[in-house]
Chains A and B, each alone.
Chain A
Amino acid sequence: DVKVTQSSRYLVKRTGEKVFLECVQDMDHENMFWYRQDPGLGLRLIYFSYDVKMKEKGDIPEGYSVSREKKERFSLILESASTNQTSMYLCASKTQGEDGKNIQYFGAGTRLSVL
Chain B
Amino acid sequence: DAKTTQPTSMDCAEGRAANLPCNHSTISGNEYVYWYRQIHSQGPQYIIHGLKNNETNEMASLIITEDRKSSTLILPHATLRDTAVYYCIVRTSNTGKLIFGQGTTLQVKP
Q: Which A residues fall within an 8 A CB radius of B?
A: 4, 31, 33, 42-43, 45, 48, 56, 58, 90, 92, 94, 96, 99-100, 102-109, 111
In Å, the complex CA distance between A4 and B43 comes to: 10
Quick check: A102 and B91 within 8 Å, CB to CB? yes
- B1-42, CB < 8 A from A: 30, 32, 34, 41-42
Interface presence of B59 (CB below 8 A): no
Contacts of A43 in B (CB 8 A): 44, 98, 100
Task: Take A100-B51, A105-B46, A106-B45 as given contacts and tell me if A42 and B100 are in contact as well, using a CB distance cutoff of 8 Å.
Answer: yes
Q: Quick one: closest B residue to A40, CB to CB?
A: B102
Number of CB contacts from chain A to chain B under 8 A: 52
Quick check: B32 and A102 within 8 Å, CB to CB? yes
In Å, the complex CA distance between A99 and B103 comes to: 24
Quick check: B46 and A109 within 8 Å, CB to CB? no
Contacts of A103 in B (CB 8 A): 34, 46, 49
Task: Take A42-B100, A42-B102, A48-B95 as given contacts and tell me if A102 and B45 are in contact as well, using a CB distance cutoff of 8 Å.
Answer: no
Interface presence of B110 (CB below 8 A): no
A44 shortest CB reach to chain B, Å? 9
Contacts of B34 in A (CB 8 A): 102-103
What 8 A-B pairs have minimum CB-CB distances, sorted nearest first?
A106-B43, A43-B100, A42-B100, A106-B44, A103-B46, A102-B91, A109-B43, A100-B32
B2 shortest CB reach to chain A, Å? 13
Task: Take A56-B95, A99-B32 as given contacts and tell me if A104 and B100 are in contact as well, using a CB distance cutoff of 8 Å.
Answer: no
A28 shortest CB reach to chain B, Å? 16
Quick check: B30 and A99 within 8 Å, CB to CB? yes
Partner of B43, one of A48, A90, A96, A99: A90
